[in-house]
Structure formats: structure tokens, C-alpha cells
Amino acid sequence: MSFDGRKIILDPEEMPEKWYNILPDLPKPLPPPLHPATNEPVKPSDLEPIFPKELIKQEMSDKRWIRIPEEVLDVYRLWRPSPLIRAKKLEEALKTPARIYYKYEGVSPPGSHKPNTAVAQAYYNMKEGVERLTTETGAGQWGSALSFATRLFNMKCTVYMVKVSYHQKPYRRVLMETWGGEVIPSPSNRTESGKRILEEDPDNHGSLGIAISEAVEDAVKHENTNYSLGSVLNHVLLHQTIIGLEVKKQLESIDEKPDVLVGCVGGGSNFAGFCYPFVKDAEKEGVRIVAVEPAACPTFTSGEYRYDYGDTVGLTPLLMMYTLGHDFMPPPIHAGGLRYHGDAPTMSMLVEEGIIEAIAVKQIPTFEAGILFARSEGIVPAPESNHAIKAVIDEALKAKEEGEEKVIVFNLSGHGYLDLAAYDDFLYGRLKNT
């Protein structure tokens, strides 16, 4: 470990070698996913047309710790362990007595936390002989993470990209294609699901739910092809726990204890990965855990806790989760990665049980927060991450009012260097405050 007053960097041998599975530590058993045709609990064999056996096992595992394969650790070492950084200049700008730390996941080659699971998923599929993965992507981060990961294991990748993002964010398409991925704007004519939507609404600008329907259909209909999901599912959140396990070691190494943990939530993977290793002791140690979502897609704060489909068309199992309804069409905000109608079932339960708090914030204040962060800390954050930063700034200002020396830790889930068009819209007053 090294600490220069700014960055806490773990030594290579301090990188966690196991992921943490929260399932055995939940306050109640997780309601099972239900088969979309029969409404019966899903059996592992139901999932085999689209997922490899090892990931299905992880999805339902009651083991608290799961060993990370050496081949996956070897890829992680390209950018992990990632730094935990004290946001001193932001603290100064806010004149807050709070100490603010951020875990920076933008150091990965695709620029976000997403390859933590993409690499693991590509690896297990490759081990079971799968040659191609299909997936959906919103802003393009997940598609680029999976294009990167599949390439490292010599596999192919087909990405259905939400149409509005495909046009708003051409550089992520180029990134995916650079890593060898095939990118299709969704809804498309490649699938029955896409065709059906286009018939009803030729100008439909797409959603993650529609793109999932297309990617699942493509995987089911083709040999040696599996589907891969970038958030929501238990095994995805499991792989992301390397983030929080590192943060725990980093904070312990400088004798610091968090009072508040903050992160942005689309489907819940970066925030779960960041905060789950802290959940079990949170109440005992008085740690607040705050999930931040966009007001334009307010799943936790305005949705219902009930069974719903993961996609728009209704091909996926029904999950017990907070949802805005599987046909909810979020407005095209720039934080494309947060435009999902549902939330991870485990995180939904933790919100329902009052263990995780949730708040919703509007788009313009998130960019104001991101700009202040960039002007004090240097890094230009992803629009998604700006949601966390807005909440962190509010917490830090509250600490100032109350004269409290709080420790606020947040996950900076990715950088925004491929989202400069969004910053341009903000800087020149074209951004809507949805």
C-alpha cells in the first residue's frame, strides 16, 4: 500500500482474489426469478440457452466467497487495483470539514467499471466453448467493455446499441468497432422484437429494454452464441465487488472509516460492487449508503417493488425488483447508462428494507456538480457518475452547515472523455433539466 496524502494505491499482491457474494447475507431469501411463460421459479436449465453453466451457478450460489480465476486476475492487472483518491481540492472548493474520497474506475481501458464483469463473463463463456456474445448497450460503455473483453479471449461480439445513443455518441461505436465488436442501432430489423417495435413506431429512439429483447433473441436463435448482461443480475454484481473489497482495504490502510457511501444507479452494478462489502456491518457501524438515480428514470424513488420483465418485449424471466414498468420509455438524457426501467433484485430488497437510501436528481444539477469536480480534481466524470457527485456535494455542504467532520466515499464509475458532446450541450445551455 502507498499513500502520498492524495492517492491510496494497493500493492499488486493486495488485490482481492475472491469476489463477495451478498446472497447468503441478505436480510431475507431473495424471491426467485420466474419463468416468463409459466410464472414458475426459473430452473438452472432454463437459462442454459443463453448463459454458461458457471455463471448460472454463480447467479444462484449461496457461497459467500467465490475465487477469481487466474486468467481473469491477469486481465484485471492491466488496470487494477484502481486508486482511491482524496478529493482535497473539491473539499477546499466547498470549504467543507468533510473528508471526501473517490474510487476511480475510469482507469480501465474502456473507461468505466464495466470490464470488471465483462472480462469474467467472456472468460467463463470461452471456457465452455461459446464463440460469440450478444448484448445491449445504452451509452456504449457496456458494449465497449464487452467488445474489449471478448477480444482478449478471441471471441466475437454483437452489440445492439440504443438508437438515440448510437447517434449521440458515435465515438463509443468507433471504440467498439476498434476492438472488433459489431454494432447495430436498436430497434433494428435483425430481430422479430425489433421489427415489431419499428412497425408500430418507425421513429422509436430505442431503450435498453428493447435492445435486451433483440440481443436475447439473437443469442437464442444462433448456435455457439450466448447473451451477456452488463448489470442487474446477481453474477454481474458479484464480479463488481472487487471495487468495494479494494476500497475496504484502502480505507483500512489509512485508518479511515466511512460515514456515507454514495454511488449512481442504473441497474445497480457499480454501486453494488462498491457498497456490498460494507452492507453487513453498515447498521452496526452507522454507515449510510446512498443510491443516486436520475429524476428522468426514478426507479427506486417512484417505481414499485414487484415482479417485472427485464426487457420491453417480455422474453426475460420476471424479477422481483423496483420497476417503472417494462414498457417505461425514459426521456433521452445524457446519462444513457442510467436509463433502465428496473434495478438489481438484491439492491431492490436492500432499498425496500431501508438498508440503502435512494434519491433522485435532475440533469442540470448533475452537470454543475461534474463541472465543479473537473475544475477542482481535474478528471472529467461520466454523466452517470455526475449523479453521485451531485449527492456528494450536497452531503459535504450539509456537513459544513452542521460543522461535522464526516467521511464521504463515492464511486467515480467512469470518465466522461467520450461524453464531451453532453458537456458541450451543458456549457452552451442546450441541456434540458429533466
Check residue 231 for interaction with ligand PLP (CB under 6 A).
yes
With contacts defined by CB under 6 A, how many residues of the chain interact with ligand PLP?
20
Check residue 268 for interaction with ligand PLP (CB under 6 A).
yes
Q: Which amino acid is at 355?
A: I
Find how far residue 5's CA is from the centre of its chain. 29
Residue pair 161/186 in contact by the 8 Å Cβ criterion: yes
Check residue 155 for interaction with ligand PLP (CB under 6 A).
no
Check residue 149 for interaction with ligand PLP (CB under 6 A).
no
To ligand PLP, the closest distance from the beta carbon of 411 in angstroms equals 8
To ligand PLP, the closest distance from the beta carbon of 141 in angstroms equals 3
Site string for ligand PLP, 233-262 (x = CB under 6 A): ------------------------------
Residue 369 and residue 389: Cα distance in Å, rounded? Answer: 6
Binding piece for ligand PLP, criterion CB under 6 A, among 160-168, 264-272, 306-314, 418-426: 264-272
Per-residue burial over 56-70, b if 16 or more Cβ lie within 10 Å, else e, is bebbbbeeeebebbe
Report the residue closest to ligand PLP, judged by CB. 414
Residues 6+ apart with CB under 8 A from 77: 12, 15
List 81, 143, 185, 266, residue binding ligand PLP (CB under 6 A): 266
Query: End-to-end distance of the chain based on CA atoms, in angstroms?
Result: 43
Which of the residues 337 through 356 are near ligand PLP (CB under 6 A)? Answer: 337-338
Binding piece for ligand PLP, criterion CB under 6 A, among 82-90, 253-261, 356-364, 379-387: 379-387
Written as nine digits, the cell of 306 is 414487484
Check residue 228 for interaction with ligand PLP (CB under 6 A).
no
Site string for ligand PLP, 398-417 (x = CB under 6 A): ---------------xx---
Residue pair 215/204 in contact by the 8 Å Cβ criterion: no
- Smallest CA-to-CA distance from 367 within 354, 357, 353, 382 is with 382
- Smallest CA-to-CA distance from 327 within 425, 209, 232, 241 is with 209
| CB-nearer residue toward ligand PLP: 104 or 153 | 104
Q: Is 53 exposed, middle or buried (0-12, 13-18, 19+ CB in 10 A)?
A: middle
Check residue 332 for interaction with ligand PLP (CB under 6 A).
no
List 114, 249, 334, 341, residue binding ligand PLP (CB under 6 A): 114
Check residue 264 for interaction with ligand PLP (CB under 6 A).
yes
| CB-nearer residue toward ligand PLP: 317 or 383 | 383
- Smallest CA-to-CA distance from 340 within 180, 221, 177, 212 is with 212
Site string for ligand PLP, 31-70 (x = CB under 6 A): ----------------------------------------
- Looking up cell 462498491 gives 274
To ligand PLP, the closest distance from the beta carbon of 4 in angstroms equals 26
The DSSP line for 376-416 is HH---B-HHHHHHHHHHHHHHHHHHHTT---EEEEEE-BB-
Residue pair 114/145 in contact by the 8 Å Cβ criterion: yes
| CB-nearer residue toward ligand PLP: 142 or 300 | 142
Residue 56 and residue 105: Cα distance in Å, rounded? Answer: 26
Site string for ligand PLP, 166-205 (x = CB under 6 A): ----------------------------------------
To ligand PLP, the closest distance from the beta carbon of 236 in angstroms equals 7
Q: What is the binding site for ligand PLP (CB under 6 A)? A: 112, 114, 141-142, 231, 264-271, 337-338, 382, 384-385, 413-414
